[in-house]
């Protein structure tokens, strides 16, 4: 890679919604590289690197497809479950309902276990559901962006493996990958799906999914009797493409988002090859999260997750104090230099707000982003 | 919009494959703008502009979705036709087979009328097929990128309107929009689908589709009895989102590709508001096409389209002379500064190559791209 020229993105307010997040100059410059052919040797090399070098799994098969994170749900629903089969959705916020909706679109029969707002689903409830019926797959949202609730991926996978080993474990990691600890291979997770614009630090537009080769082989190619329910999201179409680029050859099914793949490559290179290590990266996220959450507590703000043990480290969701509205707070935070997000969970939408602290905002301490966030919180809430 | 700073893309060989095409500094700079929220007021304005201001139709409803051009087929197949209904696919190259495959994935029963390689389907054949059976929709590839064959969109739409007025006319314009003359409203075309990386001059990653509101209302919301077969491509999900942004409000179904939308906006602004006009634009494409094709003819190279009357103006497909192989030509063209594309049509893949001449390569005469192309052709083929 050539040295980064003097490219600096335009001055702007700090973007601390829980995605899209702040993106480095280096990644943005890669997004502005001259147009290139999707079959050019240098692109083949870069795209191949992106497939070979995925951060959260060494055994898994990545699928990198032009699309929003949402497209990951279609990939799961269209490929891994057949019409009439059962799926179990653990609900910890907005995204559980949407994943259910997607699964049902492709004909799955969905049961949901719904946590209280701010809560998680207990292992007992999961165990009991798994014993009541044969489920082809179970899905959960690792961090639900609407509530900042972090589910215990390791414990969920353990419960499924123990009680119903044939049930696939599907982790929606859109808001967790590269900011929350996640060991796909070691914990026995079959699919992790995510997107480019959160912990991975790239503009939105890339649906990123990793599936265990065993799950793909068994469920898509061997035991599946119904045809795959989607064309654009079909792994039968995409697997040969990923395999080709992985082995250094071009192949065509649909044109990949060339510039965004270069941008993703720039970010991935930084995450996987350079300091900080992945361990250090998670540690920095925990430390930044503590700083924001401690500041909020000092200001008397209550977190949405009911128990600190399952609050995300990549984002914070905070209730407004009594009598204070979103329209009071968000514009003031903006006047203090940070763009935060309003509520998303329909039942309490107007009652809380959200701050993301992922990627370079956390990892590149020299930026001072966390200090900007805590200062803005203090300045705004001390005066309310 | 602020003035473009001194951003210049890195030096590179001229990319003249039939997409992705060369992208302007201005568009690339927009692709490298600082990260922004998908619900920020300035993004809402820009995304709204992109929806309101589509170049080829004033009446149509645009859908701008993160994805490859291929996703447009899923949108048509999942929303506009029900399982068991008939579709008629006009085949003028590689993309006819793929569209058929996509339609069948969602349960349509597909008949194909296949032109000879380099030929078009006759109006008589279309009329006869439409009289034999009730078709819910007919699809054709306006310019098939694999053959450079340009179908007569106006005549096809006229035939369908006369013989089978209820049949929807679906135009695959991935390789034609913004470079070939196309009048969706006046010609009575129900759907035009395209992508960002060809005539529209933006990096790949945006699926762009325009549907007549009448078709959407009748086929998706009123007469449809089967559920829409896709989640990510469902217009029931996307229509409220497009309507919201169109009217200046944010809404959420899946995160749009924010930076790419800014890039698209920059290109669209140039295409719709500034010189040259759309008329002038088509004229420049015809002139550039003539220059490339005349040069090829002088060099004794034979075009793939059987009749010049239906050769695309945005690209040229040329057979290699006898005894000359792709491996002889493409590296030499590259050594002469242009990246051209090999063959794509399976039956003759090794026998021909393709050159794109769309977008700024054609419209911005100061670049001298067409002269670079013709000079490279002369230098390479004169020596073979």
CATH number, position B209? 3.40.640.10
A105 touching chain B per CB within 8 A:
yes
Banded model confidence at residue B205, pLDDT cuts 50, 70, 90: very high
Overall domain count for chain B = 2
Tell me the torsion sign for CA atoms B65, B71, B73, B75: negative
Within a 13 Å sphere around the CA of B90, how many CA atoms are in the beta-carbon half? 32
pLDDT of residue B4: 62
In the numeric block, the tokens 């589709």 are attached to: B209
B371 pLDDT higher than 90: yes
> Based on the domain organization, do B112 and B220 belong to the same domain?
yes
**Domain extent for A102:** 27-272
Q: What is d(CA A21, CA B216) in angstroms, rounded to the nearest whole number?
A: 35
Q: What is the pLDDT of residue A3?
A: 53
Put simply, whether B38 touches A (Cβ < 8 Å) is: yes
Cβ neighbors of B314 (< 8 A, separation 6 or more) are B18, B143, B175, B176, B179, B180, B198, B199, B285, B289, B356, B357, B358, B362
Residue range B120-153, pLDDT digits in tens: 999 999 999 999 999 999 999 999 999 999 999 9
What share of chain A has pLDDT > 90, as a percent?
A: 93
- Is position B354 annotated in a ligand binding site? yes
B229 CB within 8 Å of a chain A CB: yes
Answer yes or no: is pLDDT of B1 > 70: no
Tell me: pLDDT of A87 over 80.
yes
| Same domain? B158 vs B213 | yes
Closest CB to A232 among B9, B70, B341:
B70
Task: Report the pLDDT value the prediction gives residue B155, as an integer from 0 to 100.
Answer: 98
Say how far apart CA B214 and CA B61 lie, in whole Å.
10
Q: Are residues B257 and B287 in the same domain?
A: no
Nearest Cβ partner of B232 from A197, A233, A344?
Answer: A233
Same-domain check for residues A63 and A162: yes
Cα–Cα distance, A110 to A340 (Å, whole number): 34
pLDDT at B284 over 90: yes
- How many cross-chain Cβ pairs, A to B, lie less than 8 Å apart? 211
In the structure encoding, which two tokens stand for residue B83, read together?
């399982």
Based on its alpha-carbon atoms, the radius of gyration of chain A, rounded to whole angstroms, reads 21
B230 against B382, higher pLDDT: B230
Residues A264 and A288 in one domain: no
Last residue of a domain, one of A220, A239, A272: A272
Mean pLDDT of A345-372: 96
B235 and B352 together in one domain: no
The pLDDT assigned to B275 comes to 63
Whether residues B168 and B56 share a domain: the answer is yes
Do residues B214 and B95 both lie within one domain?
yes
Beta bridge partners of A210: A62, A192
A334 contact B CB<8A: no
Six token digits for residue B344: 């794509």
What would the mean pLDDT of A139-161 be, rounded to a whole number?
98
Sequence ranges of the binding site of A for substrate: 354
Residue B3 inside a domain? The answer is no
Cβ contact (<8 Å) for B66 and A204?
A: yes
Could you tell me if residue A5 is inside a domain?
no
Residues B61-83: pLDDT tens digits? 999 999 999 999 999 999 999 99
CB contact under 8 A, B204 and A258: yes
Average pLDDT over residues A143-167: 98
Can you tell me the mean pLDDT for A34-57? 93
pLDDT given for residue A277 in this prediction: 84
Which residues of chain B lie closer than 8 angstroms to A369, CB-CB?
none
Is A105 part of a structural domain of the chain?
Answer: yes
In a domain, A2, yes or no: no
Residue among A10, A20, A37 minimizing CB distance to B15:
A37
User: B197 in contact with A at a CB cutoff of 8 Å?
Assistant: yes
ipTM here? 0.97
pLDDT of residue B272: 85
Same domain, A265 and A292: no
Interface contact B21-A12, CB threshold 8 A: no
Chain B residues whose beta carbon lies within 8 Å of the beta carbon of residue A228: 105
Tell whether B205 lies on the interface with A, counting CB pairs under 8 A. yes
When pLDDT is cut at 50, 70 and 90, the band that residue A261 belongs to is: very high
- Do A71 and B69 make contact, defined as CB atoms within 8 angstroms? no
CATH number of the domain at B320, please.
Answer: 3.90.1150.10
Q: How far apart are the first and last CA of chain B?
A: 50
What pLDDT is recorded for position B3? 53
Q: Which of A257, A260, A355 to mutate to test the interface with B (most CBs of B within 10 A)?
A: A257
Chain A, nearest residue to B251 by Cα: A344
Instruction: Assign B2 a pLDDT band (cuts: 50, 70, 90).
Output: very low
Residues of chain B above pLDDT 70, percent:
98
User: How confident is the prediction for chain A on average, in pLDDT?
Assistant: 95
Over range A203-215, report the average pLDDT. 96
- The answer on A251 and A164 residing in a single domain is yes
- Answer yes or no: do A256 and A291 share one domain: no
How many angstroms away from the CA of B158 is the closest CA of chain A?
30
Whether A20 sits inside 8 A of B12 (CB atoms) is no
Q: Does residue A192 sit in helix, strand or coil?
A: strand
Q: B141 phi and psi, to 5 degrees?
A: -95, 115
Average pLDDT, chain B: 95
Going by pLDDT thresholds of 50, 70 and 90, the confidence category of residue A1 is very low
B208 or B2: whose pLDDT is higher?
A: B208
The pLDDT value given to residue B276: 72
A110 within domain boundaries? yes
List of chain A residues whose C-beta atoms are within 8 Å of the C-beta of residue B40 = 339
Q: Which residues contact A129 (CB under 8 A, 6 or more apart)?
A: A88, A111, A113, A135
Is the pLDDT at B97 greater than 80, yes or no? Answer: yes
Å between B162 CA and nearest CA of chain A: 32
**How many Cβ atoms from other residues are within 10 Å of residue B120's Cβ?**
24
Candidate from A180-189, B107-116, B215-224, B266-275 with smallest mean pLDDT: B266-275
Strand partners, B355: B316
Contacts of B341 in chain A (CB under 8 A): 37, 39
Where does a domain end: A272, A292, A307?
Answer: A272
Residue A373 within a domain: yes
Confidence category of residue A275, pLDDT binned at 50, 70, 90: low
Q: What is the mean pLDDT of residues B255-268?
A: 97
Contacting residues of B for A44, CB less than 8 Å apart: none
Per-residue pLDDT tens over the stretch B158-169: 999 999 999 999
What is the rounded distance in angstroms from the CA atom of residue A358 to the CA atom of residue A197? 10
Mutate which of B83, B107, B259 to disrupt the A interface (most A C-beta within 10 Å)?
A: B259
pLDDT tens sequence across A57-84? 889 999 999 999 999 999 999 999 999 9
Instruction: Specify if A3 maps to a domain.
Output: no
B29 touches chain A (CB under 8 A): yes
A7 inside domain: no
Chain A closest-CA separation from residue B102 CA (Å): 5
- Chain B environment of A204 (Cβ under 8 Å): 38, 66, 255-259
SS (H, E, C) chain B: CCCCCCCCCCCCCEECCCCCCCCCHHHHHHHCCCCCCCCCHHHHHHHHHHHHCCCCCCCCEEEEEEECCCHHHHHHHHHCCCCCCEEEEEECCHHHHHHHHHHHHCCCEEEEEECCCCCCCCHHHHHHHHHHCCCCEEEEECEECCCCEECCHHHHHHHHHHHCCCCEEEEECCCCCCCCCCCHHHHCCCEEEEECCCCCCCCCCEEEEEECHHHHHHHHHHCCCCCCCCCCCCHHHHHHHHHHHHCCCCCCCCCCCHHHHHHHHHHHHHHHHCCCCHHHHHHHHHHHHHHHHHHHHHCCCCECCCCHHHECCCEEEEECCCCCCHHHHHHHHHHCCEECEECCCHHHHHHEEEEECCCHHHHCHHHCHHHHHHHHHHHHHHHC
Domain ends where: B272, B307, B328?
A: B272
Same domain? B184 vs B215:
yes
């Amino acid at each position: 890679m050539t040295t980064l020229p003097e490219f600096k993105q335009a001055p702007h307010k700090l973007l601390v919604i829980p995605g899209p997040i702040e993106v480095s100059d280096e990644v943005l410059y890669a997004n502005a590289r001259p147009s290139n052919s999707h079959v050019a040797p240098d692109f083949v090399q870069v795209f191949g690197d992106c497939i070979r070098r995925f951060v959260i799994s060494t055994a898994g098969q990545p699928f990198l497809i032009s699309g929003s994170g949402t497209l990951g749900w279609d990939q799961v629903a269209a490929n891994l479950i057949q019409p009439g089969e059962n799926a179990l959705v653990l609900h910890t916020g907005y995204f559980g309902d949407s994943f259910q909706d997607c699964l049902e679109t492709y004909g799955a029969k969905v049961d949901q276990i719904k946590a209280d707002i701010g809560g998680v689903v207990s292992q007992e409830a999961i165990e009991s559901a798994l014993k009541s019926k044969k489920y082809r797959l179970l899905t959960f949202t690792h961090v639900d962006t609407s509530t900042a609730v972090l589910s215990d991926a390791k414990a969920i996978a353990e419960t499924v493996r123990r009680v119903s080993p044939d049930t696939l474990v599907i982790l929606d990691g859109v808001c967790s990958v590269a900011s929350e600890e996640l060991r796909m291979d070691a914990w026995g997770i079959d699919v992790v799906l995510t997107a480019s614009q959160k912990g991975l630090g790239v503009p939105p537009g890339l649906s990123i999914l990793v599936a265990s080769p065993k799950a793909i082989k068994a469920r898509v190619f061997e035991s599946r009797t119904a045809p795959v329910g989607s064309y654009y999201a079909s792994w039968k179409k995409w697997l040969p493409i990923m395999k080709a680029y992985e082995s250094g050859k071009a192949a065509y099914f649909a044109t990949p988002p060339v510039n965004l793949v270069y941008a993703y490559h720039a970010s991935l290179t930084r995450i996987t090859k350079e300091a900080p290590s992945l361990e250090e990266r998670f540690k920095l996220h925990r430390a930044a999260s503590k700083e924001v959450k401690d500041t909020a507590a000092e200001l008397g703000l209550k977190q949405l997750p009911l128990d600190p043990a399952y609050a995300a480290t990549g984002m914070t969701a905070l209730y407004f104090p009594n009598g204070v509205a979103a329209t009071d707070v968000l514009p003031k935070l903006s006047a203090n230099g940070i763009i935060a997000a309003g509520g998303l969970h329909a039942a309490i939408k107007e009652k809380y707000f959200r701050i993301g602290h992922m990627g370079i905002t956390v990892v590149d301490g020299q930026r001072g982003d966390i200090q900007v966030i805590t200062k803005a919180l203090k300045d705004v809430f001390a005066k309310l």
